Structure 1
Amino acid sequence: MAQWTHMSQMLQGLTDDTINNLYPPNAFPIEVRHFLAEWIERQPWDDFVLEKEESESQAQALLDQTISMLQSISQQNANVVDRMKLMQISRNMTMFQQQPLQFAVMVRDILTKERVLLGTPNQMPSPPQFQQHPNRESSFRSMQDVDHLVLKVLDVQDIRQKIHQLQEELNWERQNYEDLQGPIQQNGLAPTQSDILKLQNHLQQLEYNVKAMARKRLQLLKECVDCLDQCQTQLISRLKAWRWDQHKATIGQPFDDNLSLLQTRCEQLLGVNGKLREELMLIGEPIPELQERLKKLLQVLIQSSLVVVKHPPQVIKTQSKFSTTVRYLLGEKVAPGKPVVLKAQIINELQARNLGSGPGDNVGELINNAAVLEHNTSSKSTYATFRNMSIKKIKRADRKGSESVTEEKFALLFSTEITITGCDTPYRIQMISMPVVVIVHGSQDNNALATIIWDCAFSEPDRVPFMVPERVPWKMMYNTLNSKFTAEVKTTHNLDQYNQHFLAQKIFDKPDFAEDFSNILVSWTQFNKEVLPGRPFTFWQWFEGVMELTKKHLNNYWSEGLIFGFIGKQHLHLILKDRPNGTFLLRFSDSEIGGITIAYVSATENGGQKIQNIQPFTKRDLEIRSLGDRIRDINHITYLYPEFPKHEVFKKFYTEPQPSPGGGYIPVSLLTKVGTEDNLDTSPAPPPLAESPHSAVGFPVCADDMELDFDTILETLSH
């Protein structure tokens, strides 16, 4: 109730219009705030937003409680006027029964405006979502700034009305004064000198008051324009931050794509700009400085409200279909009548850097590159969706040195001419997409994706399109790899410190380096230009292959921590050397793209131990038989490192035996055999999959990863 105690004192200095604007008489009159002050300030109003429909039941409960308490207070009130007034208010508030969230949000906004007026916006506890997300804290502060601006505009309008009233009174008194100076009045009584002097003094006082109010009005207008400028700067910063988060989402970073709050702020600032321009016109004399500032602010706001919400694929193959969607945040303010048609064109990096200097040469031909801006009344959003778009052909720039076509970046430029209600002239608006790489063959996809990953991970906000650093610290690269890996695999299980160290050893070709790699610079060339030593592929091609294999076939194994992952041979020998025979771990292949291998401890002929690596299983292998079943098949691997019995750990991944088929056929099944397994294995065999003969597929055991001719295996199976 402390807030209401201070607020009730401040009300003495506010106009009736301002109070009615703060406490709408037909929705939430001031009597509700007064009689329920203590209870109102204890409720979690800040938790409510219109988009959060799951909180509607909580809002309904608060609405019902509000009505019930008003009825109870009215019955106990001895003052018949107050009693009747409160009963009427409680009946009026039932209009929110179909929209309880609107009621809760209205109360939230009233309390926020009170805190702004009291100058204590940060003394109330922030709602949980603002505490958890710094960007939302910024949004909350900007909301308060806009609310403060709206109140200041109301004060300007209030002063203008007072000036009008004073001017009317002044005009009336001047007329009276002129009448006193004229012929003797009809009653024959001449005015006394005292009457004339009194009227003169009153006229002077009125003139002084009008001028003083006019000065105050002008000062408030300047403050409003300053405040509008500040609020709009904050809004555009938030829009840029939203686009930046969207850009980073490509590498797996979290992204909240909700634009409702930003759209509301755009609409509010547009409305404030219009009201301030009206107030300037009503002054009756030009004020060029303020008029020009408002004009520029309006132009920037209208042009900044175009947002690409669904970007085109960042790797686009010519002659293939794709779609993209653009949203206009001021869509409800577009002047009716002529439809707004957006057009898209493809531009190169040089054109993206010189957008203001004209369209330049056409570097590509886009099919289905026009879409109409359409308003959805239910979602209150305005979109233009480009469906079945396609790049028919592309004109490439001259390449420098060893630069390949998959390193060249383009973008889609969306543009149109739009007229906003209340504005005299149309505005040319445009927005570019995130960079895209155009390819002509699927074999270029992997290298093109590398260009996009590097761009999204290491570009800076507000960069010159599409500049990126040539080198970055390894810790930035590792964070990118981890973020992309977990996002693609859809897992919360991150790469660990051992994985990180091995990846660094691999990309820098330093297998014996045991120190911290964090601040060593890794280059684009090391990432995806040079092939790895002794391999026919680059670091990214190898990493992306592992990521694809894990996403499609190993997600659950990885998420449950059953796959060790990226580990070097030296580290592998170090952790397995003292383990009992049959201990194994799962690691990603070091020698081929998209493979997982089993490393295990095996006995030697002289009674010693050695570490063996089974030929890697690839996507093709795991499509034929799952990893869990393959692990079950191999009898001489018994304990998952460090000492988990394999049948306990992997049992959930085993495939149940299939029932015998009809028609008199004998069922068959596939089993995985490793090298000379029959000679080496002394452990009990697992239960057979079927009580019938089976086909066996053998995989060699090797000290290092080897290639295997799977066509030969399939040919064997066919016989």
Structure 2
Amino acid sequence: MAQWQHMSQLIQCLSDEIVNNLYPPNAFPIEVRHFIAEWIESQRWDDFVLEKVEQESQARALLDQIISMLQSIAQQNANVVVKMKLMQISRSMTGFQQHPLQFVVLVRDILRKERALLNTSTQLPSPPAYQQYEGGEPSFPNMQDVDHLVLKVLEVQNIRQKMHQLQEELNWERQNYEGLQGPIQQNGLDAKKSEIQKHIQQLEYNMNAMATKRFQLLQECVDCLDRCQVRLLSRLKAWRWEQCKAAIGHPFDENLNPLQTWCEQLLGVNGNLRQELMLVVEQLPELQERLRQLQQVLIQSSLVVDKQPPQVIKTQSKFSTTVRYLLGEKVAPGKPVVMKAQIINELQARNLGSVPGDNVGELINNTAILEHNTASKSTCATFRNMSIKKIKRADRKGSESVTEEKFALLFSTEITITGCDTPYRIQMISLPVVVIVHGSQDNNALATIIWDCAFSEPDRVPFVVPERVPWRMMYSTLNSKFTSEVQTKHNLDHYNQHFLAQKIFDKPDFADDFSNMMVSWAQFNKEVLPGRPFTFWQWFEGVMDLSKKHLKTYWSEGLIFGFIGKQHLHLILKDRLNGTFLLRFSDSEIGGITIAYVSATDHGAQKIQNIQPFTKRDLEILSLGDRIRDINHITLLYPELPKHEVFKKFYSEPQASPNGGYIPVSLHTKVGIEARSSMPPPHMADNFPVHQFQQAFSPQDSITQDMMETAANSDVEFSSNPPVVFPEDLPPGNTVDMDLESILQTLNE
């Protein structure tokens, strides 16, 4: 936000024309720049280029976040004019949703122009500390609000001190005047009395004027404190919202120190103002009550779940979570503050005004001490070895499964703040969690969390989510989650987007835009895909897991085409040279990647073939790069990149000869006719069944029994330089090469 702090000063020296050109009212009004300045400056706008269509989903995600934040700020704003203005801006900005790249490039250019203006400015002006703009809101960033408020409070304190000095002078003059009163009058005393009386009247006038000024300043201070606190609470809510969105891959700055400083400043200002009100002769109960309420809200709103618990929790498993109190340095010393955690269901989360009644679950190690760390200046309660022993589930509605039921952890304690007479009960709930009892439920539970974090509203009733969302929101979520999990900057492109839409909507022939079509929770992870035994999310998560563990570099360098349908595949590969291939994720099984390539038919025509998908287990045995190296049928990566140039760095180095006189063994991939042409004569296969072949290896050999069993179910061959034999009853494409003489010798031994 440092750039905006300087820019907000420079703007006041610029003409209206320049300001309107810099912040187009119909595209990116200055109000947007002001209210979310900190968030805007934390994003990477310079990465966006209008021509890079693959960035569209990322751009749309940023646009959606801005609209959501503006709506949230509007709802929290007490000023009706500002609220209506921000709502109007958020509605107008939805017009960019069809062209999000234009919007983010616009923001990029605005920030660049700001930097250019600041660089060419030789001297920043010093505008008034507080200035109103339409709607009555202060036209400076949030922390400047607090600085201005502190100055106002100092002004109140100075007036009080001056009034005290005036009162002392007034008392002295009154005493002098009374001393001149009496039956005996002396020459010249009348003039003296008149002079003192005029001075007394002037002092009384000054006292009344200062009292009026002090009252006005006190009102202004309380109003300003109210506005600052509304913005602070809005920023805290935005922080929690960003923390929630981080679960689907959105960027998140978890630093709470600026917000803690803000909380502490506002509490200090509140205390100073309450002291000033106590020193006012005439009581001001309305201002005192407002300060009391503001203090209570601030104290009760400063509890934050710093480190969220896992959002999918398996019973009887340990997990940790950390709660931070932003006013920790203001906690009264003495008795330790014990934070308690309990698990609550959806109904209890909706009624947090009262202490939850029935326990819906039993938590182990559910208490922690709120401790202050002087080094980090943070006050936290860390639950290190918490566990859910058992859970009580609600009656399920319809076809709802246990992995769709959401709970939360409720953290609560009673706290006393220095300078406050009574203790306060503070509490905060975690993000929704799904409780499972077996690892097989993890995938479906994660789907519930993804849907909740992606599509819930900021101020929803816990834990309500829409049943349907536009495809553009669904795709943005899939892209964010994929790039975050795989830890790559290479986004899904529009080809991937279209295929994913075709798959989830079961419309393989639909060529139009899917953006505004509504996708349901059932289509996402309740109904299995047509002709498949799995849901869309189960399939997508399998691809994500495979890419994360084995394909990250390939994907990041753009070597994997990824999500593409067979119709589109045939369209782009037709008329390509024989041997042209591309890598695509399997459409028919979870967590597989296959190679589609162009080959010649027996009659000289062309056909497109798909090699049996490689799964996570396959790639653990032999990497994708080595498999591509071994397959002679493929030579050019689409469109026409020689495979040995592109994939050479992924090839493994030849292994050195093992010790102990063993024959070196290597693994190779063979496909189709390559494998069948290497099959042994029938009489040899009959004399050497597969199980005997596997038993020929002892555990001490270079290849283990597990590897042999794996090879029998995959497309891997074991080979050495001497002649080789193959059991005939191995399936086509699955071959095992070994030196027959060595095997027979081993059997004889």
Q: Give the match for residue 511 of structure 1.
A: 508
Quote the Cα distance in structure 2 between the aligned partners of 1:606 and 1:146. Answer: 81
Q: In structure 1, how many angstroms separate the alpha carbons of the residues matched to 2:555 and 2:327?
A: 46
CA contact (8 A) 2:665 2:719 kept: no
**Mapped partners of 1:465, 1:492: distance in 2:** 33
Q: Which residue of 2 aligns with 1:337?
A: 334
Tell me which residue corresponds to 1:410. Answer: 407
Match of 1:567 among 554, 564, 569: 564
**How many Å separate the matches in 2 of 1:679 and 1:486?**
40
Report deviation, 1:198: 2.1
> Does residue 180 of the first structure (1) align with residue 177 of the second (2)?
no
* Gapped regions of structure 2 (runs ≥ 5): 1-8, 10-36, 39-122, 679-717, 737-742
- Residue-by-residue CA offset, 1:662-692 (whole Å, 9 max, x unaligned): 11111111111112126789xxxxxx99745
Rate the CA distance shift 1:312–1:679 in 2: closer, same or farther, 3 A.
Answer: closer
Contact 2:321 2:382 in 1 (8 A): yes
Counterpart of 1:194 in structure 2 is 191
C-alpha separation between the residues in 2 aligned to 1:700 and 1:402? 44
SS state at 1:337 partner: coil
Conserved? CA contact 1:251–1:453, under 8 Å: yes
Secondary structure of the residue aligned to 1:258 is coil
CA displacement 1:19-75 (0-9 Å, x = unmatched)? xxxxxxxxxxxxxxxxxxxxxxxxxxx99xxxxxxxxxxxxxxxxxxxxxxxxxxxx
* AA partner of residue 160 (structure 2): R
* Map of 2:210 onto structure 1: 213
1:292 is the counterpart of 2:282: no
| 1:429-476 per-position Cα deviation (integer Å, ceiling 9, x unaligned) | 000000000001111000000000000000011111111000000000
Structure 2 distance, partners of 1:521, 1:171, is 79
Amino acid at match of 1:571: H
Give the secondary-structure state (helix, strand or coil) at the position aligned to 1:457. helix
Residue 143 of structure 1 corresponds to: 143
Query: Residue 522 of structure 2: which of 516, 522, 525 is its match?
Result: 525
- Report 1:344-355 matches (<5 A): 344-355=341-352
Q: Secondary structure at the match of 2:560?
A: coil
Residues 429-508 of structure 1 mapped to structure 2, 5 A cutoff: 429-508=426-505
Partner Cα distance (2:723, 2:165) in 1: 104
Residue pair 2:676, 2:732 contacting (<8 A) in 1 also:
no
Shift of 1:153: 0.5
Corresponding residue to 1:370 among 367, 371, 379: 367
CA distance in 1 between counterparts of 2:131 and 2:174 reads 46
CA distance in 1, matches of 2:622, 2:597: 20
Contact 2:675 2:732 (C-alpha < 8 Å) held by counterparts: no
Aligned partner of 1:162 in structure 2 is 162
Residue 519 of structure 2: SS of its match in structure 1? Answer: strand
Secondary structure of residue in 1 paired with 2:426: strand
| 8 Å CA contact 1:305, 1:328 repeated in 2 | yes
CA separation in 2, counterparts of 1:320 and 1:505? 39
Please tell me the residue identity of whatever aligns with 1:273.
Answer: N
Mapped to 2, the partners of 1:696 and 1:420 lie a distance apart of 80
CA displacement at 1:699 relative to structure 2: 8.0
CA distance in 2, matches of 1:402, 1:153: 60
* C-alpha distance in 1 between matches for 2:286 and 2:723: 93
CA distance 1:695–1:372, shift in 2 (3 Å): farther
Note the C-alpha offset of 1:284: 3.0
Q: CA RMSD in A?
A: 2.7
Does the 8 A contact of 2:321 with 2:383 survive in 1? yes
State whether residues 666 and 692 of structure 1, in contact with CA within 8 Å, keep that contact through their aligned partners in structure 2.
Answer: no
Q: Percent identity?
A: 79
CA distance in 2, matches of 1:327, 1:622: 43
Higher mean alpha-carbon deviation, 549-558 vs 358-367, is at: 358-367
* Separation (CA, whole Å) in 1 of partners of 2:623 and 2:726: 15
Structure 2 vs 1, CA of residues 709 and 484 (structure 1 numbering), >3 Å: closer, same or farther?
Answer: farther
- Residue by residue over 1:624-665, the C-alpha shift from the partner in whole angstroms, topping out at 9 and shown as x without a partner, is 110000111111111111111111111000000110011111
Q: Deviations over 1:286-324 (max 9, x none)?
A: 211000000000011111111101000000000000000
Instruction: State whether residues 594 and 619 of structure 1, in contact with CA within 8 Å, keep that contact through their aligned partners in structure 2.
Output: yes
Stretches (4+) displaced over 3 A: 112-122, 188-191, 678-681, 688-701
Is 1:400 aligned to 2:397, yes or no? yes
Does the aligned pair in 2 maintain the 1:417–1:428 contact within 8 Å? Answer: yes
CA contact (8 A) 2:332 2:417 kept: yes
Q: Deviations over 1:257-303 (max 9, x none)?
A: 11111111111101000000000001133211000000000011111
TM-superposed CA distance for 1:482, in Å, is: 0.3
Counterpart CA distance in 2 for 1:669 and 1:709 is 13
Deviation at 1:359, TM superposition (A): 1.4
Q: Go from structure 1 to structure 2 and tell me whether the alpha carbon gap of 1:667 and 1:140 turns closer, same or farther (over 3 Å shift).
A: farther
TM-score (norm 2): 0.74
Evaluate the alpha carbon distance shift between residue 695 and residue 459 of structure 1 in structure 2; reply closer, same or farther with a 3 A threshold: farther
Structure 1 residues 689 and 160: CA distance shift in structure 2, 3 A: farther
* Structure 2 residue 316 is matched with structure 1 residue 322: no
Q: Is the 8 A contact 2:129 2:148 kept in 1?
A: no
Partners of 2:163 and 2:207 within 8 A in 1: yes
Counterpart mapping for 1:564-603 below 5 A: 564-603=561-600
Indicate the residue corresponding to 2:241 in structure 1: 244
Residue 620 of structure 1 is matched in structure 2 by 617
Contact 2:156–2:218 (8 Å) recurs in 1: yes
Structural mapping, 1:625-704, within 5 Å: 625-677=622-674, 691=721
Contact 1:673–1:696 under 8 Å retained in 2 = no
Check conservation: 2:543, 2:585, Cα contact below 8 A: yes
Equivalent pairs counted in the alignment come to 575
Structure 1 unmatched runs, 5+: 1-6, 8-45, 48-111, 123-137, 682-687, 702-707, 711-715
Q: Give the superposition deviation at 1:360.
A: 2.0
**CA–CA distance in structure 2, aligned partners of residues 445 and 522 of structure 1:** 23
Q: Residues 596 and 608 of structure 2 are in contact (CA less than 8 Å); yes or no, is this contact kept in structure 1?
A: yes
Amino acid at match of 2:559: L
Residues 590, 490 of structure 1: CA spacing in aligned structure 2 closer, same or farther, 3 A cutoff? same
What CA distance in whole angstroms lies between the structure 2 residues aligned with 1:398 and 1:490? 39
Give 1:519 deviation, angstroms: 0.2
Deviations 1:484-503 (A, max 9, x none): 00000000000011100000
Aligned pairs for 1:110-129 within 5 A: 115=126, 117=128, 119=130
Measured in 1, the distance between the counterparts of 2:139 and 2:636 equals 53
Equivalent-residue separation in structure 2 for 1:241 and 1:654 (angstroms): 47
Shift of 1:192: 2.4
CA shift digits 1:528-560 (9 cap, x unpaired):
000000000000000000000000000001001
Pick closer, same or farther for the CA change 1:627–1:693 going to 2, 3 Å.
Answer: farther
Cα distance in 2 for partners of 1:162, 1:334 equals 33
Q: Distance in 1 between matches of 2:534 and 2:157?
A: 70
The residue type paired with residue 480 of structure 1 is T
- Distance across 1 between alignment mates of 2:735 and 2:327: 61
Displacement of 1:116 in angstroms is: 5.9
- 2:282 corresponds to which letter in structure 1? E
Counterpart in 2 of 1:14? none
Partner of 2:299: 302
Q: Match of 1:605, as an amino acid?
A: D
The answer to whether the 8 A contact 2:130-2:139 is kept is: no
State the partner residue of 1:171: 171
- Distance in 2 between the 1:694 and 1:473 partners? 58
Q: 1-side partners of 2:651 and 2:572: how far apart?
A: 27
After superposition, give the CA deviation of every residue in 1:383-420 in whole Å (9 maximum; x if it has no partner). Answer: 11001000000111111000000000000000011111
Between 279-288 and 553-562, report the one with greater CA deviation. 279-288
Q: Return the offset for 1:182.
A: 3.9
1:423 to partner: Cα distance:
1.0
Corresponding residue number in structure 2 for 1:279: 276
Q: Give the aligned residue type for 2:273.
A: L
